[in-house]
């Protein structure tokens, strides 16, 4: 009996992989007849005196090794080496002084390399454990950064419009003490305090509103109204009320985080099933015991959802509030002053710090959620 009849699923996977290689090979073959760039106004092809053929041979050998590997995962690692070689080619050409803005052969070749990277990530995403949860997202992020670097430098985009990641990293290293002071003022002083106060107040009021139903019916419309208030509208008011120090930033954060936490907590408290509540009543459990033993544990995914949403809202609120008044330090203050001075490298470095901080806070809460709610059905389905 044929393999297609005995194992049609494996045959379909192999057919999909073959079509994936065809999609990679077509733009790569077309790229071979197009120029890589220009030198002193003259087009330079693949055989124009550069080391481009060596990179091409390395990519081809990596794909062949990937196809002949006994396991698909081993083959994916070999193909990933070919992707790395392909993306190193434009840096080599830039080092030799080529203008890549008209190098359509190079850009089409990089499109083929991106498709190959997509295929590799598809294979690695099927491997459980750290490869799927860490390596694949890391490859995706690294691919975005490398693509950003190559496109900006290859098309000679002015740094005032969009600097390459390498220039942003250099600005981070050169201005590390200043950025650390800004981080300490904005995140450690304002964000953490406002976040704890806003989320704590939202949680406690949600418990009270759950106990007093008419309070919930009155607060939910106010939550919808508060979510529509722009932060640029309340930030100057809070600065006038609480001054220029961290108190005004914390007040803005409380306004932004209170209602998301309130709404998510109320939704979580109402998530318990009727049969579970009846079981607690049969045990003669009162409101407090039912809340602690049943309703709050069932509400944990909703609570973490509110905490994760608020982790980014708090950072945004603090940075925007610093535009309207702050001591001479802070991430929002740094962005506003350096934009006025046209020091956009420092501006992008501050944005990078803010993005990494927000991602780190969100990731830490996601890990804590996975550790504390592994028993919940919503986590078992992931």
| pLDDT value for 13 | 43
- For the chain, give the percent of residues with pLDDT over 90: 14
- For the chain, give the percent of residues with pLDDT over 70: 89
Q: Over the chain, what is the mean pLDDT? A: 82
CATH homologous superfamily, domain 171-380: MetI-like (1.10.3720.10)
What is the CA 176 to chain-centroid distance, rounded? 23
Question: Which of 148, 31, 126, 142 lies closest to 80 in space, CA to CA?
Answer: 142
Q: Say if residues 164 and 153 touch (Cβ distance below 8 Å).
A: yes
Place of tokens 């107040």: 201
Q: Say if residues 266 and 272 touch (Cβ distance below 8 Å).
A: no
| pLDDT value for 15 | 47
Higher-pLDDT residue of 165 and 68 is: 165
| Model pLDDT for residues 58-72, shown as the tens digit of each residue | 888 888 887 777 778
DSSP reduced 3-state for 164: coil
- For the chain, give the number of residues: 382
Place of tokens 């969100």: 362
| Model pLDDT for residues 76-135, shown as the tens digit of each residue | 888 888 889 889 988 888 888 888 888 888 888 899 888 888 888 888 888 877 788 788
| pLDDT value for 57 | 85
| Model pLDDT for residues 265-316, shown as the tens digit of each residue | 888 887 776 776 666 677 666 777 777 777 788 888 889 999 999 998 899 8
Q: Say if residues 259 and 202 touch (Cβ distance below 8 Å).
A: yes
Q: Say if residues 318 and 252 touch (Cβ distance below 8 Å).
A: yes
Average pLDDT value for residue range 206-232: 76
The pLDDT of residue 2 is above 70? no
Higher-pLDDT residue of 232 and 359 is: 359
Q: Say if residues 109 and 85 touch (Cβ distance below 8 Å).
A: no
The H or E element spanning position 225 is: helix 213-227
The whole-angstrom separation of Cα 174 and Cα 382 is 42
| pLDDT value for 379 | 64
* pLDDT confidence band for 192 (50 / 70 / 90): very high
| pLDDT value for 96 | 82
| pLDDT value for 7 | 47
| pLDDT value for 348 | 92
- The domain limits of the chain are 3-157, 171-380
The pLDDT of residue 5 is above 50? no
The pLDDT of residue 3 is above 80? no
The pLDDT of residue 18 is above 60? no
| pLDDT value for 105 | 85
The pLDDT of residue 185 is above 60? yes
Average pLDDT value for residue range 19-40: 78
């Amino acid at each position: 009996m044929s393999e297609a009849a005995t194992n049609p699923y494996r045959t379909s996977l192999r057919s999909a992989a073959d079509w994936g290689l065809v999609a990679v090979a077509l733009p790569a073959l077309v790229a071979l007849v197009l120029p890589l760039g220009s030198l002193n106004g003259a087009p330079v092809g693949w055989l124009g005196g550069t080391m481009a053929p060596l990179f091409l041979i390395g990519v081809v050998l990596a794909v062949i090794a990937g196809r002949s590997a006994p396991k698909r995962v081993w083959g994916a690692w070999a193909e990933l080496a070919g992707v790395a070689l392909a993306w190193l080619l434009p840096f080599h050409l830039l080092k030799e002084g080529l203008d890549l803005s008209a190098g359509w052969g190079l850009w089409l070749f990089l499109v083929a390399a991106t498709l190959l990277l997509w295929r590799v990530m598809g294979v690695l995403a099927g491997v459980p454990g750290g490869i799927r949860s860490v390596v694949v997202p890391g490859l995706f992020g690294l691919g975005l950064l490398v693509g950003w670097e190559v496109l900006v430098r290859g098309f000679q985009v002015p740094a005032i419009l969009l600097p390459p990641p390498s220039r942003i990293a250099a600005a981070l290293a050169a201005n590390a003490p200043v950025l650390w002071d800004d981080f300490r003022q904005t995140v450690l002083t304002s964000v953490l305090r406002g976040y704890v106060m806003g989320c704590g107040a939202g949680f406690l009021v949600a418990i009270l509103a759950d106990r007093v139903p008419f309070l919930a019916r009155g607060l939910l419309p106010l939550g919808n109204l508060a979510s529509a208030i722009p932060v640029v509208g309340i930030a100057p008011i809070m600065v006038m009320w609480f001054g220029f120090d961290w108190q005004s930033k914390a007040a803005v954060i409380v306004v932004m985080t209170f209602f998301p936490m309130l709404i998510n907590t109320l939704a979580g408290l109402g998530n318990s099933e009727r049969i579970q509540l009846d079981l607690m009543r049969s045990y003669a459990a009162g409101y407090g015991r039912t809340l602690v033993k049943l309703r709050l544990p069932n509400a944990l995914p909703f609570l973490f959802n509110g905490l994760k949403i608020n982790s980014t809202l708090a950072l945004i609120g603090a940075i925007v509030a610093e535009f309207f008044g702050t001591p001479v330090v802070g991430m929002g203050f740094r962005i506003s002053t350096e934009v006025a001075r046209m020091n956009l490298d420092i501006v992008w470095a501050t944005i990078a710090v803010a993005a990494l901080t927000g991602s780190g806070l969100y990731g830490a809460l996601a890990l804590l959620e996975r550790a504390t709610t592994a028993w919940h059905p919503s986590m078992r389905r992931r």
